[in-house]
Chain A
């Protein structure tokens, strides 16, 4: 079998071990054997370099050009240098949307990580049956497609027949929520979107952290307790340090997800009311696809990625450092 070279074969082919039955044949087969793995990697390489690399280069190129509908049809390109970037940075709506996106992302990530940690700690302390029930409930929320979540939440918070308005009114102390519309103001709409995103994001964070807590040796927490540490001290000085790399990773992932999330934000009110829930990814979509200002939209996309990278730099550096420690 000339097929794939393997660690085993490579070991056998190592100098000194190689048997030499027929020098010519073995050289030929070795050549084929050596090139085959590279052939096998080719499809993936082409996918990443061409299919993914080309759009990446294209978005940078487009951000430096003026491309409207006319240019799109005629195929003429006008290079405008950094004009698109200057235009969006001078655009008051773009600046407002950027700030809004950051605040939105920060709130979502903070809520997801903090509540996820609390649920993980809860999972660690409760009896078996409640733990199974909570886990099953979280798997349901986790498995829900983002889009279905958005549709179902609109039904839950419907002003006339929504179950939430009924429940709030029934409790009594909050007064009557009859016909209360949750999507009249930007803040309230954002509240629902955040609720939806955090509801779906907690299970993954909580399960991961719970796994992390289980991996912390039992002796450590026991020893701390024997030494008279309170629950809070055990958490601060034993559990939290043990979870730090995992927490870092989860915060990192949440930042990436929540910064560029489109589906939930867009499908709830298409950026409404009055454009008050437009975030950067929706802004890029509207500028490009609805207004056909492709150059500007490309510039927005580039800025979006650069901002995301800037936010993530401290995380990437700290993660690299912790990996060196290990």
Chain B
């Protein structure tokens, strides 16, 4: 009996490592291809550990308008993050700390907004942007992404604020702090990690978004990175090295940010239903 359980444990550990290989391999293959010299890509028998070169990255960066795409993506994701955080924070603080009538109704509204199927709203949003002259302009994407990320921002920040006991602020006020002073000096520092996690989520959502960016941005210089990357066949033909280098450049910030906050995301995503 002990023998079979030990054999089973080995088997399970083996299966786990195999699964890990399956999950990690596409990411590994992207990185490794990006660093390969052309002759190591153009072989039928793949090279698993290449002699690294930066040629592909140089090629990807030197594509016309690359700096435009990067700037657009950063600007749009940054503005979305700023807007969502300011409005979301204001709302979350009020919902978590103030006594307002209709709080339940408001929370329901947030929950509904969170489930709104944005894929089904493309046509009306397109029309609105066209009528207001925002079509093919960066603000059109900022507005859509802001609406898209605000519900989660409120939900998440409200949870973080509610997790900090009011008593802490009250004791600071007993010690002579003003209401605002207590909030700034006591609650805000404790809120730091929650704010960062929420901000990163907003940034990643806007940075990754493809559907609306693809439809709204018609001029090449207004493309965001995902729109550019999706048309890799017209950019790079069958140059997989440059394509993977471009993919790596686009993915790297997401990966770094994601690793920083993923522990927080698991619980946060299931407690407040989120869309993807």
Chain A interface residues toward B at CB < 8 A: 1, 3-10, 36-38, 40-41, 43-45, 47-49, 51-52, 54-56, 58-59, 62, 72, 119, 122-123, 125-127, 130-131, 133-134, 136-153, 155-156, 158, 160-161, 163, 166, 178, 199, 202-204, 207-208, 211, 246, 249-250, 252-253, 256-257, 260-263, 266-267, 281, 284-285, 288-289, 294, 297-298, 301-302, 304-305, 308
A177 to B181, CA, bound (A): 69
Q: Is the CB of A152 within 8 A of B120?
A: no
With A133-B17, A134-B23, A305-B120 as given contacts, are A41 and B247 in contact (CB-CB < 8 Å)?
Answer: no
Q: How many residues of chain B get a CB closer than 8 Å to chain A's CBs?
A: 94
Q: Is the CB of A211 within 8 A of B266?
A: yes
Residue B267 is within 8 A (CB to CB) of chain A in the complex: yes
Q: Is the CB of A56 within 8 A of B12?
A: no
Q: Is the CB of A141 within 8 A of B27?
A: yes
Residue B100 is within 8 A (CB to CB) of chain A in the complex: yes
Q: With CB as the reference atom, state the residue of chain A lying closest to B101.
A: A38
- Closest chain B CB from A130 CB (angstroms): 4
Q: With CB as the reference atom, state the residue of chain B lying closest to A211.
A: B266
* Residue-wise interface mask of B (104-119) relative to A, using a CB-CB cutoff of 8 A (1 in contact, 0 not): 0010011001011101
Q: Is the CB of A62 within 8 A of B123?
A: yes
Q: Is the CB of B122 within 8 A of A284?
A: yes
- Closest chain A CB from B6 CB (angstroms): 12
Q: Quick one: which of A54, A59, A208, A261 contacts B269, CB cutoff 8 A?
A: A208
A297 to B13, CA, bound (A): 50
Q: Is the CB of B127 within 8 A of A155?
A: no
Q: Is the CB of A48 within 8 A of B122?
A: no
Q: Is the CB of A253 within 8 A of B120?
A: no
With A41-B100, A47-B87, A148-B247 as given contacts, are A139 and B230 in contact (CB-CB < 8 Å)?
Answer: no
- Closest chain B CB from A161 CB (angstroms): 7
Q: Is the CB of A137 within 8 A of B21?
A: yes
Q: With CB as the reference atom, state the residue of chain B lying closest to A270.
A: B230
Q: Is the CB of A288 within 8 A of B122?
A: yes
Chain A residues within an 8 Å CB radius of B61 = none
A8 to B178, CA, bound (A): 13
